[in-house]
Amino acid sequence: MDDEPTDPTAPSVGVGPHPQPWPDDPRLDPELLAAGDRRNVLDEYRYWRLEAIVADLDTRRAPMHVAIQNWEHDFNIGSVVRTANAFNVAGVHILGRRRWNRRGAMVTDRYLHVHHHASVEEFVAWAETAGVALVGVDNLPGSVPLETAELPEACCLVFGSEGPGLTDEVVAACDRLVAITQHGSTRSLNAGAAAAIAMYHWSLQHARALDA
């Protein structure tokens, strides 16, 4: 079993070794039962095998996907992935470079379905086949304020690299564009913060999809 990195922002969590006799449950991991479970997971998943947790999450994934352009090896991708885990999204899509910086994800990518698309054409073809609307999130001309936008239930929120934002090719492929209204001096939010706001906005509109 791989060691998970310590989350410096998390309080002391977890449980020690499980008292004998151990429960007869195939979802449980003998190594965790013997050594204790210090992972940053919900209490209901204590001692569970990773595969069992993923299988349980699969029964209630949100119909929302998240995509991140990875043209510049963006360090925000890990933060986006960690937030995607919090909302139990149907999938995370890395568009561009296959390798991305996983440090900020704090191993939450293990609980998600992460897909790679080498080109915009490949990504768009996936969305069309899956029946998923592409919603670009960027501060661009023609963008609708996120706070007034109605987001489709089956959608993929698409985020650009830090700095340049969404490329023209991705913008052209999106069904619609939304922007997060700001009142300060900077032009844009970083991708990690923008993704968290957008996913939360979707969850407010489609709470029943999360509770299903």
Identify residue 212 by its one-letter amino acid code. A
Structure-model confidence comparison of residues 9 and 144, the more confident one: 144
- Nearest-angstrom CA–CA distance, 109 and 73: 17
CA distance to 42, 73, 90, 161, per residue, from 13 (Å): 10, 32, 27, 33
pLDDT tens digits, one per residue of 69-122: 986 656 789 999 999 999 999 999 999 888 888 888 999 999 999 999 999 999
Give residue limits of the domains in the chain.
14-59, 62-211
Lookup: tokens for 211: 């509770």
Confidence of residue 11 (pLDDT cuts 50, 70, 90): low
Taking all residues of the chain, what is their mean pLDDT, rounded to a whole number? 91
C-beta separation of 199 from 64 below 8 A: yes
Greater confidence (195 vs 13) lies with: 195
pLDDT at 211: 67
CATH of domain 62-211: 3.40.1280.10
Per-residue pLDDT at 201 exceeds 90: yes
Spatial CA neighbour of 128 closest among 168, 62, 60, 174: 174
- H/E stretch holding 6 reads none
- pLDDT tens-digit profile of 117-154? 999 999 999 999 999 999 999 999 999 999 999 999 99
**Average pLDDT of the residues in 1-26:** 76
pLDDT at 156 over 90: yes
Rounded distance, CA 127 to CA 59, Å? Answer: 21
pLDDT of the residue at 134: 98
User: Residue written as tokens 């897909």?
Assistant: 115
C-alpha pair distances (Å), 168 with each of 27, 136, 207: 46, 11, 32
Say what the pLDDT of residue 164 is. Answer: 75
Distance CA 28, CA 17 (A): 12
pLDDT at 73: 58
Q: Which residue has the higher pLDDT, 53 or 185?
A: 53
Q: What would the two tokens of residue 105 be? A: 């994800």
pLDDT tens digits, residue range 16-62? 999 999 999 999 999 999 999 999 999 999 999 999 999 999 999 99
CB-CB contact of 160 with 151 (8 Å)? no
